[in-house]
Every structure is written in C-alpha cells, then in structure tokens.
C-alpha cells in the first residue's frame, strides 16, 4: 500500500529521484538531502506506514536489519566511528514526513556537534510515579 501524497511513497515508486544506497523487497534506503553528517541515510519501508504505531513488527524488523547493515557498511566504507539510529513518530516528536523511517546518522572523530538529549527536571522528579503509571498501578 502506498499514499499518493507521500514523498517517500513517490520515491519508492521511482517518481522522485533519490541517492539510493540500499534496496531489497521490503525496504529502500537513500541519503538524506539535508544531512547532519556524511552518509546520513533514511531507511524506509516500501509499504506506507505512518509511524512506529502503524508499522507491523515483521516490517519494523526488516527496516532495523537494513539500518544495521548500512551502519556496518559506513563503518568500513566511510570510516564512521559510531552511529545514531533515530526515529521521530508524531508531530510532537518532530516527525516531518509521515511515513515511518529511521535515520542512520554516522558519527566521526571530527564531529563537534553530537546529538544530545536535554534532561527534563520535572520528568526526573516524577520518575517513580511514571513507572507506576506505566505498570498500571493505582496512584
């Protein structure tokens, strides 16, 4: 299934060009046109799934397996020292293309701007309550 208005579905159909680095029967991967490091790649299922909540487990495994293969390749071919695998699911998380995808972001010695996460003090102060909510305990 594809979504006619989705840019990634258009890439899958070959209607929009891309810098393809990997493809199999279920997954396509191409270089991000606004990279944050050399080799920044998007790994996309060929089937349209909007986000992490929509993608079936078997297809998610195929996407992640492809992401790992790409990360391993970039370690040897590009000299990447490490890698970040990132996904944003939902507008509030920063998702801008609503077709599930994983960013493979190679990291190098020369990189000064590492991907980082800011800590939320209120979330930390409520960590015990959060665990209880997740585990279904009554507060």
Residues in a beta bridge with 18: none
- The number of beta carbons lying within 10 Å of the beta carbon of residue 123 is 9
CB-based contacts of 134, cutoff 8 Å, min separation 6:
none
What is the model's pLDDT at position 112? 64
CA nearest neighbour of 85 among 64, 99, 100: 64
Selecting among 99, 101, 103, 119, the annotated active-site residue is 101
Cα–Cα distance list, 40 to 91, 101, 119, 131 (Å):
21, 12, 25, 34
Mean pLDDT by 10 residues, the chain (139 residues): 84 97 98 94 98 98 98 95 95 96 92 70 82 80
Q: Known catalytic residue: 101?
A: yes
What is the model's pLDDT at position 2? 60
What is the model's pLDDT at position 86? 96
Spell out the domain ranges in the chain.
Answer: 7-134
Distance, in Å, from the CA atom of 103 to the CA atom of 5, rounded to the nearest integer, reads 21
Cα–Cα distance list, 12 to 87, 98, 103, 104 (Å):
19, 14, 17, 18
What is the model's pLDDT at position 139? 58
What is the model's pLDDT at position 127? 85
- CATH class name, domain 7-134: alpha beta
DSSP per-residue letters across 23-83 = E-SSEEEEE-SS-SSTT-EEEEESS---STTTS-HHHHHHHHHHHHHHHHHHHHHT--SEE
């Amino acid at each position: 299934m594809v979504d006619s208005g989705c840019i990634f579905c258009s890439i899958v159909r070959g209607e929009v060009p891309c810098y393809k680095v990997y493809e199999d029967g279920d997954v396509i991967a191409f270089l991000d046109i606004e990279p944050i490091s050399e080799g920044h790649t998007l790994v996309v299922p060929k089937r349209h799934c909007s986000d992490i909540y929509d993608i079936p487990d078997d297809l998610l495994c195929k996407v992640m397996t492809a992401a790992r293969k790409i990360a391993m390749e970039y370690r040897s071919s590009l000299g990447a020292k490490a890698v970040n695998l990132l996904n944003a699911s939902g507008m509030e998380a920063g998702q801008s293309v609503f077709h599930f995808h994983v960013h493979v972001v190679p990291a190098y010695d020369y990189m000064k701007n590492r991907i980082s996460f800011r800590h939320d003090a209120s979330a930390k102060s409520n960590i015990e309550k959060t665990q209880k909510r997740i585990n279904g305990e009554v507060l």
